[in-house]
Amino acid sequence: MGTLSVKPVTEATWADLEALFEGKGGPSYCWCMPFRAMDNRSTASNADRKAALRSRVEAGVPIGLVGYVDGEPVAWCSLAPRESFVKLADKQDAAEQHVWSVTCFFVRRDHRKTGLSARMLDEALAYAKARGAVALEGYPVAPNSPSYRFMGFLPLFEGRGFHETGRTGTRRHVMRKPL
C-alpha cells in the first residue's frame, strides 16, 4: 500500500467523496444517510440521499473523512458529532455533549485487508479530539454478524482501547473511548 493521507469532507473534497461512492462497489445506494435524519426516508431515492448529505457539507456540518492512497480516494469513515445523527443507541443520553460517533467504514475493494479501517479509525479519534470531543462512540458488530458489517467489527474498536458500554438492537455493540 502507498502513502495514506486523510481529509475531512468539505466543499473542496466533495468531488473525491463522489468519486469513491459512485465508483465500482461504492455505497451510492445509501450515501451514508441511514443514521442521519432526512425527509421522506422511506421514499428517498439515491439522488435524494446524496443531496441530503451534500446539504450537510454545504452547511458546514462534519460528515466524515476520506482516505487517500497516493492521492486517490479509497476509504471512507462516517464521523460526526453524535447529535447530528438519529438516536444511535437504546440507552443514549441526549443531554450528553461533545460525544462524536463513527457509524460507517467503506474501503474500496482493491484496498481491503490492508489495515485501512484501523488507520481511518485512528484518524477519526484524532480528528474528533481536535474538535473538542470528549469521547468517541462506535457501534460495531461481531465478525460473524450477518448485518451491520459496515459499522466495523468489535476487534477493530477493542484494539484501539474502546470499551463496551451496552448494546443496541440484537447485533450492535456500543463501544466508547474517552478522549
Question: Domain spans of the chain?
Answer: 4-178
pTM, two decimal places = 0.95
Sheet containing strand 99-107, strands side by side: 4-8, 64-69, 72-81, 99-107, 135-138, 172-178, 163-168
How do residues 117-155 score in pLDDT, each as one tens digit? 999 999 999 999 999 999 999 999 999 999 999 999 999
Backbone angles phi, psi at 50, to 5 degrees: -60, -45
Q: Which three cell numbers stand for residue 123?
A: 484518524
**Rounded (10°) CA dihedral 74, 78, 81, 87:** 180
Please state, in angstroms and rounded to a whole number, the distance separating the CA atoms of residues 82 and 97: 8
Q: What topology is assigned to 4-178 in CATH?
A: Aminopeptidase (3.40.630)
User: Could you tell me the maximum CA-CA distance found in the chain, to the nearest angstrom?
Assistant: 42
- Per the prediction, the chain carries an average pLDDT of 95
In the three-class reduction of DSSP (H, G, I as helix; E, B as strand; rest coil), residue 178 is classed as strand
